[in-house]
C-alpha cells in the first residue's frame, strides 16, 4: 500500500464565493477504506476571524458497523494559508483527538486488567 503526501490536486469538491474558497473535501484512502473529510469556511462566533469547520464520518471503534461524526471548528494562525495547509492543520487536529482516545482506552484497558487479574 502506498500512501502519498497531501497535495493540492487531492482536494476535491472545492466551493468558492467569488475568489475565496469556502469549502473542499479530502479523501484519505488505503487499500480497503476511504475516509472523507469535509472542510468549510466557518462563519460564526469564533475568536479567530479566519476559522474553518471540519467534518468527518469515521468508524466507531465501539461498534462493528456504526460510524460516528467528528466535527470541530479551528482557527488558523494567518489568513493567507494554502488549502493544503488548512487541510493539514485540520487533519493533525483529528489525529490528536484519536491519539487522546487511544490513550484513554489504553488506560481503561490497563485498569480493567488490574482489577480483573487481581482476583
pLDDT tens-digit map of 89-112? 999 999 998 899 899 989 999 999
DSSP H or E segment with residue 84: helix 83-117
DSSP 44: S
Task: Tell me, yes or no, whether 58 lies in a domain.
Answer: yes
Nearest to 75 by CA among 65, 86, 83: 86
- Could you give the CA distance from residue 86 to residue 43 in angstroms, rounded to a whole number? 16
The model carries a pTM of 0.82
Tell me the pLDDT band of 3, cut-offs 50, 70 and 90: low
On the 0-12 / 13-18 / 19+ scale of CB atoms within 10 A, 118 is exposed
Share of the chain above pLDDT 90, in %: 53
pLDDT value at residue 93: 92
Cell of 91: 487533519
Task: Tell me, yes or no, whether 46 lies in a domain.
Answer: yes
- Could you give the CA distance from residue 84 to residue 92 in angstroms, rounded to a whole number? 12
Asked whether 52 and 114 are in contact (CB, 8 A), the reply is no
pLDDT value at residue 65: 77
Task: Tell me, yes or no, whether 69 lies in a domain.
Answer: yes
Q: Which domain, by its residues, includes 22?
A: 9-117
22-75: per-residue pLDDT in tens? 999 999 888 788 889 999 999 877 666 789 999 998 887 777 778 888 899 998
pLDDT, the chain, mean: 88
Total domains present in the chain: 1
Report whether pLDDT(1) > 60. Answer: no
Asked whether 109 and 101 are in contact (CB, 8 A), the reply is no
Task: Tell me, yes or no, whether 3 lies in a domain.
Answer: no
Task: Tell me, yes or no, whether 2 lies in a domain.
Answer: no
Task: Tell me, yes or no, whether 1 lies in a domain.
Answer: no
Amino acid at each position: 500500500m502506498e500512501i502519498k503526501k497531501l497535495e493540492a490536486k487531492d482536494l476535491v469538491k472545492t466551493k468558492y464565493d467569488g475568489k475565496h474558497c469556502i469549502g473542499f473535501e479530502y479523501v484519505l484512502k488505503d487499500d480497503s477504506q476511504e475516509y472523507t473529510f469535509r472542510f468549510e469556511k466557518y462563519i460564526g462566533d469564533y475568536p479567530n476571524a479566519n476559522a474553518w469547520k471540519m467534518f468527518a464520518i469515521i468508524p466507531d471503534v465501539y461498534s462493528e458497523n456504526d460510524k460516528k461524526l467528528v466535527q470541530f471548528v479551528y482557527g488558523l494562525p494567518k489568513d493567507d494559508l494554502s488549502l493544503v495547509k488548512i487541510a493539514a492543520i485540520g487533519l493533525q487536529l483529528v489525529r490528536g483527538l484519536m491519539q487522546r482516545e487511544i490513550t484513554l482506552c489504553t488506560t481503561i484497558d490497563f485498569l480493567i486488567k488490574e482489577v480483573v487479574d487481581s482476583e
